[in-house]
C-alpha cells in the first residue's frame, strides 16, 4: 500500500472532503444567520462577526422592559464550533453580569446552550432566549446562588448589586 501524500492528520484539499463540506455548510449557515439578523426588525438584539471572523461574533442584548435590566445593554461573545449547527456555540456575557443563571465569569446556564440544543436554533433565537432569561431566571438551577436568593427576597438589593456589576463595565 502506498504512503499517503498528505502529512499525518492533514485533510486533502478535495472539494469532496467531508471537513471542507462541513466548513462550507457552516459558513453558508452563519452568513444566512447574519443576513437574517441584519434584516430583522426584532428590537433589542444584534450580533455581528468580530473582525470579519464568522466563527466569533459579538452580540448585544438590551435588558427587557419591566425587569431590573431595563435600559441596560449587555455584550456577549459567541464562538461557533466546527460542527455548528449540530453543536451549540459557546456563549458568554462579556459585560459584567449579576443574574441567577450567569456566573461571575459570564458563563450561562441555559438548557438550549447545553443538552436541549437543536440545529433549528440560530443566533437570533439564542439572543431572544437570553433576553427572556434576564426577566425570567431559572432559580431552580442557579449558577449564582446569591443572585437567585435576592431575586426572590430582596429586589432592591438585587438591583443595587446588578448596577454595581454593570458599572464595572463602564469604568
Q: Catalytic positions, please?
A: 109
Q: List residues bridging with 70 in a β-sheet.
A: 63
Q: Are the C-beta atoms of residues 51 and 45 closer than 8 Å to each other?
A: no
- Going by their DSSP bridges, the two strands 53-62 and 45-50 should be labelled as antiparallel
Q: How far is CA 61 from CA 2, 9, 30, 73, 86, in A?
A: 55, 40, 19, 6, 24
DSSP string for 134-167 = HHS--TTS-S-HHHHHHHHH-HHHHHHHHHHHHH
Q: Are the C-beta atoms of residues 98 and 147 closer than 8 Å to each other?
A: yes
Cα dihedral sign, 42-141-114-107: positive
Q: Are the C-beta atoms of residues 113 and 101 closer than 8 Å to each other?
A: no
Amino acid at each position: 500500500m502506498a504512503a499517503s501524500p498528505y502529512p499525518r492528520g492533514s485533510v486533502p484539499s478535495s472539494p469532496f472532503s467531508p471537513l471542507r463540506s462541513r466548513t462550507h455548510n457552516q459558513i453558508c449557515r452563519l452568513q444566512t444567520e447574519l443576513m437574517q439578523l441584519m434584516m430583522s426588525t426584532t428590537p433589542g438584539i444584534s450580533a455581528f462577526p468580530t473582525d470579519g471572523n464568522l466563527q466569533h461574533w459579538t452580540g448585544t442584548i438590551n435588558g427587557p422592559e419591566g425587569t431590573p435590566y431595563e435600559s441596560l445593554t449587555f455584550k456577549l461573545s459567541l464562538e461557533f464550533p466546527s460542527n455548528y449547527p449540530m453543536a451549540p456555540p459557546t456563549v458568554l456575557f462579556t459585560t459584567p453580569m449579576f443574574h441567577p443563571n450567569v456566573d461571575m465569569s459570564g458563563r450561562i446556564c441555559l438548557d438550549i446552550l447545553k443538552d436541549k440544543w437543536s440545529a433549528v436554533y440560530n443566533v437570533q433565537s439564542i439572543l431572544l432566549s437570553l433576553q427572556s432569561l434576564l426577566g425570567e431566571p431559572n432559580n431552580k438551577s442557579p449558577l449564582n446562588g446569591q443572585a437567585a436568593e435576592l431575586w426572590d427576597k430582596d429586589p432592591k438589593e438585587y438591583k443595587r448589586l446588578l448596577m454595581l456589576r454593570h458599572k464595572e463595565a463602564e469604568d
